[in-house]
Structure 1
Amino acid sequence: MENFVVSARKYRPATFRSVVGQQHVTTTLQNAIQSQHLAQAFLFCGPRGVGKTTCARILAKTINCTNLTPEAEACGQCTSCVAFQENASFNVHELDAASNNSVEDIRSLVEQVRYAPQQGRYKIYIIDEVHMLSNAAFNAFLKTLEEPPGYAIFILATTERHKIIPTILSRCQIFDFNRIRVEDIREHLRYVATSEGVAADDDALHLLAQKADGGLRDALSMFDQQVTFAGNNLTYKDVVQNLHVLDYDYYFRLVDALLRENLSAALLLLDSVMQQGFDLHNFVVGTAEHLRGLLVCKDPVTVQLLEVSDNIRQQYVRQAQAAPLPFLLSALNLVSQCDRDFKQAKNQRLHVELTLMKLAYLNGAVQFVRDLTPAANGEAKKKTSSLGDGAAAPLASSNGHAAPAAYAPAPSPPTPSTSTPPQAPKPEPQAPPLVHAPAPADGPEPLPVENGVAELHATPSIEAAPSEPVTPRHQVRDTLPHVETGRPSMQGLEPNQRPTDVRPGTVPAPAPSIPALPKLPSLGSRLPNLRDVGTAMASQPKAPGAKDKDQALEPASTGPLAPIDPELLRSVWQQLADERRAQDKMSDYMVLNRAVSADANHVILLTVDNPVQVVQFNDFRAEFMAELRRRTGHPGLIVQTEVAAAAPTGRKLYTSNDKFAYLAEKYPALQEMKQRLGLDADF
């Protein structure tokens, strides 16, 4: 029985020309071979199954070939090529870094590099999965990789470039391998199927190429599996059944049911999918991809973005023509939201069914909104046209309502019809002057009460308000100083009198003296800052009867005060403190969280722990006092703060001299020892 060789090995490319989907890499390598500009180290990066190791072997075979073709391809017939094809070449060494990742392995490799090749020109070292090397192995490999012998070339291959240290990356020529396109994989599968004598549908091969996710090796492995399952006649149905994937037909039937608003058919289709053992999340993701395909097929220019076979693409185009664009956009949004919330849902089937219910009636909802939109626009247009052809746009008033069009140009009176031909309309001036429009003779009739419309505010009139006669005012002037209650004494002055004239029999009050500004210290050419001004103001003596800032906030008492209920005061005080804590103002709460009481003069003494709390209380004193007075109903409350005296601790900090004096008094020999030895107490 002949041993079976998998297609990934049997049809492995042997020349640069046979490499699939990596022309940007193969062309660069061929040019480097022809121009003899080969680097000492190459790094091939890319996903799995895209040809990294294959290109490394082709490069190693080609650079040692003694009979290159004009296209820089290996001949396959010389001694070096034959030895390479039989795995008997002493010039090509392959190392698996996944199992040889220690420093000793790299040291053994470095020792081999010291020996020149016996035949051929180069010794090539291919290190696969190089990202598996340890940091110590990388560091041991740096010097040899940077300055190898002229006959040594290193080819590194990895799927995880980010795991390689930058010092290695800087010493290599890096080639990034791309994922192979679906069309390229399908064409290669067609070539393999033809070579193996397998009749395969284009849809089946396209589905295999799509499921390979850009890896040719995965596609060939799945192809061998499908041929083993279905024989030499590979159909699309067999591939779908063996790969256990949802057919496109499910999604086409689902969208058809949703467009017909047939919820029952959509729910039965979902149940059929679950009965066959498919994952609900994969169904949701597939639905989103199907809706995206329909959205792409709405425009003939973007149809090429859909990576499906020609038969499936035609079905997409036909269904996209039947599906409205608003439906596709809204449906894609709903399915994407279902995909995001799927893992958090407790009942995942119900979650998907609710999404299908929304999708089933989405088309009708979109049409309902579309029907309402012209009606709303027509109503707005009708209201706008009722202002008249010559009415200007309403101006916004200060209260937020539209101001009446009182400044529109006056409409021209109707003229009797004559036989004169109509004149051409005159061009409007660029900036017409604003004139006052006369009130219309007959206004619009008021709306009847039966229609349920009621005015919420008085309708502004467009008539000009009559101007009120200007009456001479009686000019008054404050001539006496203010009394304590803050009510000034006023004396009347006639308009024709000067401000210095007073009524006979009265003595003019002396003008209040303006306090002189404090003299700032001499600062030279430097401008005074706020700190200097504040210091100078604080050093000035206060005038008699002047009040502090804190006392200025307190209202002046004018008579006997009503007593305050202590329970009410404590309750309101505690409520305000708790509100500060609820607002995450713990520093304010710590200041207020203490027992307080008011005396007969409505003075509350607040005892705090330190001066910092006094400053904190002064920051919110005004707001706190206003709320305290409002809730207690006593506007004459006053809060005075004081710092509690620190209790003596009874402990003292002793110095070295104090300790020595105490011990010398207890033990006199210490004093004599200090004198004999010449010691000092500060030690």
Structure 2
Amino acid sequence: MTDEIDAASADDEPGFAGFDPAPPPAAAAPTPYRVLARKYRPAHFGDLIGQDAMVRTLTNAFAAGRIPQAWMLTGVRGVGKTTTARILARALNFQTEDGGGAPTTDLVRFGVHCKEIIEGRHIDVMEIDAASNNGVDNVRQINDAVRYAPVSARYKVYIIDEVHMLSAGAFNAFLKTLEEPPPHARFIFATTEIRKVPVTVLSRCQRFDLRRVDSSLLVGHLGSICTTESVEAEEEALAAIARAAEGSVRDSLSILDQAIAHAAGKITLDDVRSMLGLADRARVIDLFEALMKGDIAAALGELRAQYDAGADPVVVLTDLAEFTHLVTRLKLVPDALKDNSLNQAERVRGGDFAQRLSVRVLARAWQMLLRGIAEVKQADRPVMAAEMVLVRLAHAADLPTPDEALKMLRDGSGTVSSGNGAPAPRPPSGGGNTALAARPILASANPMPIPAPAPRAVAQPLVQVASLEDVVALASQHRDITLKLALERDVRPVRFEQGRIEFALAEGSSRTVATDLSRRLKEWTGLTWMVAVVNAEGGATLREQAEAERERRESDAASHPAVMAVLEKFPGARIVSVRDPRAAEAQAPAASAPEDEYMNDGEPLFDDSEPDFDGIDF
């Protein structure tokens, strides 16, 4: 009976029958996911995009055997600096299975050391982060280790990332080794702040500036990756990702990785916009059009709608500035319409704006947007600050051009008339008929009519001033001796015209001459004068001119036969002064001069026909 119970128990619960069942087979560990930026990291020079100049130079250098001891790679983040360093290390240490091979840039097939170098785990290729190893002791360790030969590879390669983080002492400790390294050592530096690297280090390296990758190349690269990953994506969505990456390949792949997870299917433009908080491109163009028309109500409504939809006000203004720049480029470079990264709305409407808007309006909008973006970033309520930026933009389009403003002042009217002579109409929002209208008008936010100002008489100068001598005469007339002496002694004239004087100052002159002269001319002539000290050689001062004229008159007098005779007969005599007859006539007209009863003006002072004074003892 007991045996039957035991048998029944063994049948019901086999685990208690005196033996352990075989354990289930262990599940294989899942392969960890590799992000796209690492999965599609270039392994040879053919995989690099957008760096054709650098690839060509390196290919030619390796082919000719002109391999330097150090390279300096610089550029913004994500353009391939560290990747290029690893490819260079692979090219230096390329070796086939049979032990052959030489340094080469033909790296399509993998050699003995290639896989470990690309994965960053080769014993002879040291990757050092200068941000955490930036002291003299760290560089001293490199100097000590570089003397020893590599373990298995051809070259011992040191890749130092963010090299600008090294201290000044560390850079100095590096100089000797960097200039004369052992024949088996090579150095590759990478940095995003090339200006912080001392010139003593730069002069010992071959420098390569890695460029931002063009948006069209990025779109094609992202499209090929999506095809490989079996992911559907709209071309406009990829273009938006490329624009957000700003030329960085790594950033674009990171955003694409995020977009694939966000969309969970086909990647659309709306998915990318909602994920990144971007504004709709078409709506940004609508906002731009409303601003250029001066329609403030529509512009504020569009901004609020985009903000409610999740757009960041800073991003909206940034996209607005980007579109302003695009329209300016299309106006100045019409061939920019052929850019494949532009969507249909940008190409069609941007080209239309480029034809209708002036460079003056676009440049002013660009400057205001740049300042507005900085204000919005610092504001506690960004959306309110962004709305005020739009208000300024809309009303700035009301401002007329300088020639139109001058015409309005001359005509005595506050508006610029349309083609039929009537004032141009104002839109109902109160913004003003602005840049996109046929002619701008002078208007304010208040739609009340502007009263026409009374005509003004054109101001006439109180005194005519045509030369620097006239200014000196004015200073003498008004008894400003200090200014008169400064004008004669210190001023080297460069340019003189009505309302504007430019001059250089003699050495040791007072720097307040220009300010004093401008103020005095305003008092004396009743007009505003632009007086400027320029960095030019300038002419001779009035005193130097007078001295040169005096020397010329004395030289002319000394060459006269009669004067020469007197100087010869009277040794030690010299000419003290020579009066300019023209100046004498100007100061004393002939009509008012008394007649000299002792000497006839027609009689010469010296008569060459008279006998010499021989025998006369003076």
What corresponds to 2:612 in structure 1? none
The Cα offsets for residues 517-546 of structure 1, whole Å up to 9 and x where unpaired, read as xxxxxxxxxxxxxxxxxxxxxxxxxxxxxx
Aligned to 1:12: 41
Write out aligned runs for 1:168-187 (5 A): 168-187=201-220
Q: Name 1:230's counterpart in structure 2.
A: 263
Residue 340 to residue 116, structure 1, CA distance change in 2 (3 Å): closer
> For each residue in 1:386-406, what CA deviation from the matched residue of structure 2 results, as whole angstroms up to 9, or x when unmatched?
xxxxxxxxxx999799xxxxx
Cα pair distance change 1:398/1:86, threshold 3 Å: closer
From 31, 40, 58, the equivalent of 2:69 is 40
| Alignment partners' CA distance in 1, 2:121 and 2:307 | 55
1:296 CA drift (Å): 3.0
- Cα deviation 1:533-586 (Å, max 9, x = unaligned): xxxxxxxxxxxxxxxxxxxxxxxxxxxxxxxxxxxxxxxxxxxxxxxxxxxxxx
Q: Which residue does 2:276 correspond to in 1?
A: 243
Are the counterparts in 1 of residues 93 and 155 from structure 2 also a CA contact under 8 Å? yes
Q: Does 1:99 align with 2:114?
A: no
Contact 1:197–1:232 (CA<8 Å) still a contact in 2?
A: no
Matched residue of 2:44: which SS?
A: coil
User: Pick from 170, 185, 201: which aligns with 1:137?
Assistant: 170
Residues 304-343 of structure 1, C-alpha deviation per residue, up to 9 Å, x if partnerless? 5978433243243364268443765665565556557667
SS at 1:14's partner residue? coil
Aligned to 2:89: 60
Q: How many residues align?
A: 392
Measure, in 1, the Cα distance between the counterparts of 2:218 and 2:313.
29
Separation of aligned partners in 1, 2:92 and 2:339 = 41
Q: For each residue in 1:213-269, what CA deviation from the matched residue of structure 2 results, as whole angstroms up to 9, or x when unmatched?
A: 221111111110111100231111100000011121222222343466544322211
Amino acid paired to 1:189: L
Structure-1 residue corresponding to 2:78: 49
Higher RCO structure (Cα 8 Å, ≥6 apart): 2
Rg comparison, structure with higher value: 1
Structure 2 residue aligned with 1:252: 285
Please report how far the alpha carbon of residue 86 of structure 1 lies from its aligned counterpart in structure 2 after TM superposition. 6.1
Rounded to whole Å, the distance in 2 between the matches of 1:51 and 1:370 is 53
Partner of 2:492: none
Greater mean alpha carbon deviation, residues 16-25 or residues 248-257: 248-257
Q: Aligned pair in 2 of structure 1 residues 180, 365: CA closer, same or farther (>3 Å)?
A: closer
Asked if the contact 2:331–2:355 (Cα under 8 Å) also holds between the matched residues in 1, the reply is: no
**Using the alignment, how far apart are the partners of 2:326 and 2:210 within structure 1?**
27
Residue 24 (structure 1) aligns with? 53
The TM-score normalised by the length of structure 2 is 0.55
Hey, what does 1:554 align to over in structure 2? Answer: none
Query: Taking structure 1 as the reference length, what is the TM-score of the superposition?
Result: 0.50
- Rounded to whole Å, the distance in 1 between the matches of 2:397 and 2:595 is 84
> What's the C-alpha RMSD, in Å, of the aligned pairs?
4.1
Distance 2:78 2:131 in 1: 17
Q: CA deviation at 1:366?
A: 6.0
Choose the corresponding residue for 2:198, options 165, 181, 199.
165
**CA contact 2:161–2:191 (8 Å) conserved in 1:** yes
Q: Which runs of 5+ in 1 are unaligned?
A: 380-395, 402-494, 502-683
Per the TM alignment, residue 53 of structure 1 is displaced from its structure 2 partner at its CA by: 1.0
Residue type at the aligned position of 2:80: G
The 5-angstrom pairing of residues 482-561 of structure 1 reads: none
1:52 is displaced (CA, Å) by 1.0
1:460-494, Cα deviation, whole Å (9 max, x unpaired): xxxxxxxxxxxxxxxxxxxxxxxxxxxxxxxxxxx
Measure how far apart 1:376 and its partner are.
7.5
Q: Is residue 2:329 matched to residue 1:296?
A: yes
Partner of residue 569, structure 2: none
Deviation at 1:4, TM superposition (A): 0.7
Aligned partners of 1:159, 1:371: CA distance in 2, in Å?
48
The separation in 2 between residues aligned to 1:116 and 1:333, in whole angstroms, is 58
**Judging changes above 3 Å, is the alpha-carbon distance between structure 1 residues 100 and 263 closer, same or farther for their aligned structure 2 residues?**
closer
Aligned partner of 1:31: which letter? N
Q: 2:247 aligns with which of 188, 191, 214?
A: 214
Q: Structure 2 counterpart of 1:264, which letter?
A: A
Q: Secondary structure at the match of 2:113?
A: helix
Q: d(CA) in 2 for partners of 1:155 and 1:53?
A: 9
| Contact 2:44–2:108 (CA under 8 A) maintained in structure 1 | no
Cα distance change of structure 1 residues 237 and 86 upon mapping to structure 2, 3 Å threshold? closer
Alignment-mate amino acid for residue 70 of structure 2: A
Which letter does structure 2 place at the counterpart of 1:242? Answer: M
Listed as ranges, the gaps of 5+ residues in structure 2 are 1-29, 414-458, 465-591, 599-618
Give the AA of the match of 2:77: R
Q: Tell me the alpha carbon deviations over residues 132-175 of structure 1, each in whole angstroms, 9 at most, x when there is no partner.
A: 22233223322222211111111111222222233222222222
Deviation at 1:59, TM superposition (A): 0.9
* Gap change, CA 1:176 and 1:335, over 3 Å in 2: closer
Q: Identity of counterpart residues, as a percentage?
A: 35
Amino acid at match of 1:231: A
Structure 2 distance, partners of 1:499, 1:46, is: 91
Specify the alignment match of 2:316 in structure 1: 283
Match of 1:201 in 2: 234
For 1:89, what is the secondary structure of its paired residue?
A: coil
